DNA sequence: CAGGACATGTAAAATGTTACATGATTCT
DNA sequence: AGAATCATGTAACATTTTACATGTCCTG
């Protein structure tokens, strides 16, 4: 239930409408916790129903301004202080790397190269953000900057890794030789699997 | 629908049962794409129904041995070659960092320190894996090693970042001075938000 | 013969994605 | 007046998580 806490966290800095929050997600939080418009509005209603938020003035176009309540702040602090974050990592990019043996060496190289390019692009984008933002002393600025730095390091790491991986494959290619199997073959090499089971990676 | 492709990818290396696959997930794929037992069994049935898999012999305890079909291999290659991976990043750890201003400087430091420790622990664990695994020349070994290297670099990056973040906060603490707001205050400082809106981070 | 590992499944609930639907205000 | 932006919502579907349920085989 991180979405609700993300919303509470943003509203802890001051009142906002669903539309505002949605834009904040798109432009900053989306990098660590993406959410759709649909989700934001639904969750705001749930939070209001649970008394974690209060709707203040209704503005121009049916705009609702949400404020956090004391119960909301309590819940936010409880989440931050008393619960452990779970670190579920999910990377489709990396998942595919596992299976790159199914597509021939050329395509595998292309894949890694593109992954590296994406990371490099992301790095540039984040550098641009760093310059563009007016960093204040408010909570979101101070801690947001820490998060941005994480993003910068992460992107750089990914770019470097992709480069390394390409070099690694090149080495291996020279040693083991030959254009790797385009779509099957190695699956049936002796020792590749025993008793029909995979050898776990650890 | 990455889970189905993860299963196809594993089965492309050779036949296995749901139980085998489940263990592979727990021990290796879980690091890039976690899945539960429940999900694995359900998806295997769906894949079989769709003719991407075939059930071979039924073993000892109702064990079903799944093999990939030609349609399954085609689907796997299609996924790898013709579709773009989406890079949805979700990090609860990082999400919390954004909101660390809500819990006082001491707790914020503790949080970052613990995050660093977790990363350091993960790094050690992966190093142990690296030593323990017998790296062969089969697909999963070759590309699995690339993924492991990614994990090592990622963990190191996180550990270093946490260290840096702690130092950064220490500096800022000396400059801006004072024990930060334990739970509200700054929210109402002038300029922290305009027109009830948050300043986007970019 | 008991306990652990092997082995497969279903159901319910929570969460996330995609698409659709509607209307008001502001700017050019 | 028309387009862009502001603004909120619902419905259907897919995915993920958690819990429950059941039975077999092997080892000490």
pLDDT tens digits, B128-172: 999 988 888 888 889 999 999 999 999 999 999 999 999 999 987
Q: How far apart are CA B49 and CA B62, in angstroms?
A: 18
**Which pLDDT value is given to residue B202?**
31
CA A158 distance to own-chain centroid = 13
Hey, CA dihedral for B92, A112, B159, A201, is it positive or negative? positive
Q: What is the mean pLDDT of residues A159-188?
A: 72
Q: Does B132 touch chain A (CB under 8 A)?
A: yes
Q: Using an 8 Å Cβ cutoff, are A4 and A47 in contact? A: yes
Q: Inspect the interface and report whether the beta carbons of A101 and B143 lie closer than 8 Å.
A: yes
Q: Where does the pLDDT of residue B186 fall: very low under 50, low under 70, confident under 90, or very high at 90 and above?
A: very low
Q: What is the mean pLDDT of chain B?
A: 88
Give the lowest-confidence range in A46-50, A62-66, A190-194, B146-150: A190-194
Q: Where does the pLDDT of residue A143 fall: very low under 50, low under 70, confident under 90, or very high at 90 and above?
A: very high
Is A177 a residue whose pLDDT tops 60? no
Percentage of the residues of chain B whose pLDDT score is greater than 90: 76
Residues 2-21 of B with CB under 7 A from strand D: 2-3
Q: Does A134 touch chain B (CB under 8 A)?
A: yes
Nucleotide closest to A86 measured between CA and C1': D17
pLDDT tens digits, B36-89: 999 999 999 999 999 999 999 888 999 999 999 999 999 999 999 999 999 999
Residues 7-46 of B with CB under 7 A from strand C: 17-20, 22-23, 37-38, 41-42, 44-45
In terms of C-beta density within 10 A (0-12 exposed, 13-18 middle, 19 or more buried), how is residue B82 classed? Answer: exposed
Q: Which residue has the tokens 């049936």?
A: A188
Q: Where does the pLDDT of residue A136 fall: very low under 50, low under 70, confident under 90, or very high at 90 and above?
A: confident
Q: How far apart are CA B85 and CA A95, in angstroms?
A: 9
Q: Using an 8 Å Cβ cutoff, are B136 and A191 in contact? A: yes
Q: Where does the pLDDT of residue A62 fall: very low under 50, low under 70, confident under 90, or very high at 90 and above?
A: very high
Nucleotides of C under 7 A from a protein CB: 6-12, 14-20, 23-26
Is A173 a residue whose pLDDT tops 90? no
Q: Which residue of B has its CA nearest to A177?
A: B137
* Number of alpha carbons in the 13 Å side-chain half-sphere of residue A32: 26
């Amino acid at each position: 239930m991180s979405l609700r806490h993300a919303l509470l966290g943003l509203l802890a800095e001051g009142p906002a409408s669903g539309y505002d929050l949605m834009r904040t997600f798109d432009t900053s939080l989306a990098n660590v916790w993406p959410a759709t418009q649909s989700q934001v509005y639904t969750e705001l209603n749930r939070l209001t129903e649970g008394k974690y938020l209060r709707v203040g003035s209704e503005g121009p176009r049916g705009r609702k301004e949400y404020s956090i309540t004391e119960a909301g702040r309590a819940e936010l602090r409880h989440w931050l202080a008393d619960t452990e974050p779970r670190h579920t990592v999910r990377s489709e990019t990396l998942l595919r790397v596992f299976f790159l043996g199914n597509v021939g060496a050329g395509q595998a190289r292309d894949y890694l190269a593109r992954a590296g390019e994406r990371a490099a692009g992301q790095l540039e984008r984040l550098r641009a953000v760093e310059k563009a933002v007016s960093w204040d002393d408010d909570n979101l600025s101070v801690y947001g900057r820490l998060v941005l730095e994480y993003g910068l390091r992460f992107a750089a790491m990914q770019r470097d890794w992709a480069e390394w991986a390409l070099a690694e494959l090149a080495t291996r290619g020279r040693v083991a030789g030959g254009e790797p199997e385009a779509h099957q073959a190695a699956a049936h090499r002796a020792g590749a699997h025993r008793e029909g089971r995979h050898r776990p990676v650890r």
